[in-house]
Amino acid sequence: MTERASTRDHARVAVTVDLLIFTVRQGALHVLLIERGHAPFEGQVALPGGYVRTGEHLDAAALRELREETGIDGSRLHLEQLRTYGDPDRDPRGRVITVAYLALGPDMPAAQAGTDARHAEWTPVKAILEGRINLAFDHEVILREGLERARFQLEYTTVAAAFCTEPFTIAELRHIYEVVWGLTLDASNFRRKVTGAHGFLIPTGKHRTQEIGRPAALYRRGPAQLLSPPLLRSSDVHRSSPNLLVLH
């Protein structure tokens, strides 16, 4: 960056971090929301988040808010910066820009109430997309962009495994893809692809026996970040608003 000697008009603004935390539970994609305890948007639901403190790293602020507001330990999930939202009118209190983080994790142990009295709870993403729930601020925009990004990342990266609790079965992993993409995949071809993708899955050698059927082999996440070859969705999936795809 560069300071401008001429113009003095550079605002000092408040900076927040907001967390878009996705998980798959009960066969549907859920997002963690908190109920706001104060104005503005009191009583309305919003993404968890809060002010970045003096001298605090953005990533550190995200992890702290995650713990404070939801009781979740960030080391268990995949966390990455999504985008920064800086519309001057996005917060009625004044100029507040927010750095949004996207987090993907396994079904969590029932989000605890935060340090504040507000309670956090898992909400089906579908209810928000269909307009049955309205989010505070510009959080619905953040959610839509984050969802878009998550969907893209499933194709080209190994993040899908971040949704699974280790060790996991291939069927569980496939279930993630099916829920996030909203389509069904051929179990046999899916297995061939993911087991063939270098560094995606590490066989544990162990098996899990469910109530019924042949026991499934258990895997752990491999070291690969990128999926090669990518796990493409059938050629012409309708890609509404091609948006954000970030590889972390």
User: Residue 55 touches which of DNA, a copy of itself, none (CB < 5 to 8 A by kind)?
Assistant: a copy of itself
Q: Is 232 exposed, middle or buried (0-12, 13-18, 19+ CB in 10 A)?
A: exposed
Place of tokens 């046999």: 188
Q: Is 236 in the site for DNA (CB under 7 A)?
A: no
Phi/psi class of residue 27: alpha, beta or left (left: φ > 0; alpha: ψ in -120 to 50)?
left
Q: Which is nearer to DNA, 92 or 196 (CB)?
A: 196
- In the window 154-213, what residues touch DNA (CB under 7 A)? 169-171, 186-189, 191-193, 195-196, 207, 209-213
CB atoms within 10 A of CB 3: 7
Q: What is the DSSP string of 126-149?
A: HHHHTTSS-BSTTHHHHHHHHHHH
Among positions 77, 99, 103, 128, the unique one binding a copy of itself when judged by CB under 8 A: 99
Place of tokens 């979740």: 72
Rounded CA gap, 233 and 178, in Å?
Answer: 11
* Cβ at position 224, least distance to a copy of itself in Å: 9
Among positions 20, 22, 50, 77, the unique one binding a copy of itself when judged by CB under 8 A: 50
Rounded CA gap, 221 and 203, in Å?
Answer: 9
* Cβ at position 191, least distance to DNA in Å: 6
User: Residue 186 touches which of DNA, a copy of itself, none (CB < 5 to 8 A by kind)?
Assistant: DNA
# binding residues, DNA (CB under 7 A): 25
* Cβ at position 242, least distance to DNA in Å: 19
Among positions 46, 141, 217, 245, the unique one binding DNA when judged by CB under 7 A: 217
Assess contact for 49 and 64: CB atoms under 8 A: no
Chain-centroid distance of CA 97 in Å reads: 20
* Cβ at position 172, least distance to DNA in Å: 8
Place of tokens 């008009």: 9
Q: Is 216 in the site for DNA (CB under 7 A)?
A: yes
Chain-centroid distance of CA 20 in Å reads: 5
Q: Which is nearer to a copy of itself, 28 or 185 (CB)?
A: 185
* Cβ at position 227, least distance to DNA in Å: 10
Q: Is 235 in the site for a copy of itself (CB under 8 A)?
A: yes
